[in-house]
């Protein structure tokens, strides 16, 4: 009898850690993360901001949640299968950071919540109602709407005295940028500016794009926000300086890379904010009860070294409005 009790106790002792581990694994919240490109330092920094947001809400990676990354390595044809793979895991939520990845995830499931961080979910058809997103898709926009192009053009016109011809570099494969170009024409008309649309498809087009701007006698250029202009912003800055074109970029990191001006929201803040969505989903919130959020704070940064190299004097009123001045 004593031997049977001892064996039972030993079996329970050995079994307990395994059961505990299995229970922990069942409780682990699985976050799928679908990426169109490859791992990059910029991407890692934004992912860390997301982790920081979860940590601030009391969630510990490896204990309460895990992140499953899937990288398309610049091959969009891989996105449908990668999204389906995340659904099969199964992921409890799928985070996407471009319209293309969000649509791939949306096509893969109607059950798993999809959290996007993209410029304009309305014009790309991800949602039709920001206040009450339908189906299983919600998230955060990087822009308040296409009308922000008017602000970009106004800033350049104010800084570059006599800028009558402004080029807009845009990705012609982006549906939402097509919508923004329509607003750009209207804004240029109001500001009495000649708009020079210059389209590209990939970063290899940048050199010829800037050559076209110079041929069209552009006085300045704004590069619309896009994953390509974000990742390859240093190349854009170098080309702008080479052609002596004052450039406004739409990612904050561009100011340190040498862009004359940057007007943008802080992506790190948006990714930390995205963590609050996951926190609420963890606690059982329905996607339809999580409105799409739009940024309300934008920062203006001016690079004085670049201004000097271009022979520009920044108006005192613009300097007074700047959140950051890089000497």
Q: Where does residue 142 fall: left (phi above 0), alpha (psi -120 to 50 degrees), or beta otherwise? A: alpha
Predicted pLDDT of residue 176: 85
Predicted pLDDT of residue 175: 79
What's the full length of the chain, in residues? 327
Q: How far is CA 94 from the centre of its chain?
A: 15
**Domain annotation for the chain: domains and CATH numbers:** 26-142+268-289 (3.40.50.2300), 148-264+298-326 (3.40.50.2300)
- Across the chain, which has 327 residues, the per-10-residue mean pLDDT values are 43 45 63 96 97 98 98 96 98 96 97 96 93 95 91 95 94 87 94 97 96 97 93 96 97 95 96 98 96 96 97 96 95
Pairing of strands 165-171, 324-326: unpaired
Predicted pLDDT of residue 12: 44
Predicted pLDDT of residue 174: 85
How far is residue 21 from each of residues 30, 63, 283, 286, measured CA to CA in Å?
16, 11, 22, 29
Q: How far is CA 23 from the centre of its chain?
A: 35
Predicted pLDDT of residue 9: 41
Predicted pLDDT of residue 19: 43
Listed in sequence order, the DSSP H helices in 127-264 are 148-159, 175-191, 206-215, 227-231, 233-242, 253-256
Task: Please report which helix (H) or strand (E) contains residue 199, including its range.
Answer: strand 194-200
Half-sphere exposure of 277 (CA within 13 A, CB side): 29
> Model's pTM, two decimal places?
0.87
Residue 66: DSSP 8-state:
E
For residues 311 and 245, is the Cβ–Cβ distance under 8 A? no
pLDDT tens digits for range 121-180: 998 999 999 999 989 999 999 998 888 999 999 999 999 988 999 999 999 988 789 889
Predicted pLDDT of residue 4: 45
d(CA 86, CA 112): 10
Tokens of 126: 């991800």
Predicted pLDDT of residue 1: 45
d(CA 193, CA 196): 9
Strand order in 261-264's β-sheet? 194-200, 165-171, 220-223, 247-249, 261-264, 299-303, 324-326
Residue 111: DSSP 8-state:
S
């Amino acid at each position: 009898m004593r031997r049977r009790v001892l064996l039972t106790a030993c079996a329970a002792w050995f079994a307990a850690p395994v059961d505990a581990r299995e229970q922990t694994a069942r409780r682990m919240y699985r976050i799928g993360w679908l990426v169109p490109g490859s791992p990059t330092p910029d991407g890692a920094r934004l992912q860390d901001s997301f982790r920081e947001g979860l940590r601030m809400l009391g969630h510990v990676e490896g204990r309460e949640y895990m992140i499953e990354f899937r990288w398309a390595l610049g091959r969009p044809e891989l996105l449908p299968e990668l999204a389906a793979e995340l659904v099969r895991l199964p992921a409890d939520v799928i985070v996407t950071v471009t319209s293309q990845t969000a649509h791939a995830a949306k096509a893969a499931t109607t059950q798993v919540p999809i959290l996007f961080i993209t410029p304009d979910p309305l014009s790309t058809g991800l949602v039709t109602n920001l206040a009450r997103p339908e189906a299983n898709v919600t998230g955060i926009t990087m822009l308040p709407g296409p009308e922000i192009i008017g602000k970009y053009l106004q800033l350049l016109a104010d800084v570059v005295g006599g800028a009558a011809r402004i080029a807009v570099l845009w990705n012609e494969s982006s549906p939402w940028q097509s919508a923004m170009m329509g607003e750009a024409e209207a804004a240029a008309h109001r500001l009495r500016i000649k708009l020079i649309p210059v389209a590209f498809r990939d970063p290899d087009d940048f050199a010829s794009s800037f050559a076209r701007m110079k041929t069209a006698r552009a006085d300045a250029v704004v590069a619309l926000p896009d994953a390509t202009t974000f990742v390859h912003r240093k190349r854009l800055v170098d080309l702008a300086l080479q052609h002596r074109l004052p450039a406004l970029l739409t990612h904050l990191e561009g100011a340190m890379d040498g862009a004359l001006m940057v007007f943008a929201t802080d992506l790190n803040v948006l990714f930390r904010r995205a963590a609050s969505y996951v926190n609420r989903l963890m606690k059982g919130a329905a996607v339809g009860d999580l409105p799409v959020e739009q940024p309300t704070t934008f920062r203006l940064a001016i690079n004085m070294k670049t201004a000097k190299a271009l022979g520009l004097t920044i108006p005192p009123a613009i300097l007074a409005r700047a959140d950051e001045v890089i000497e």
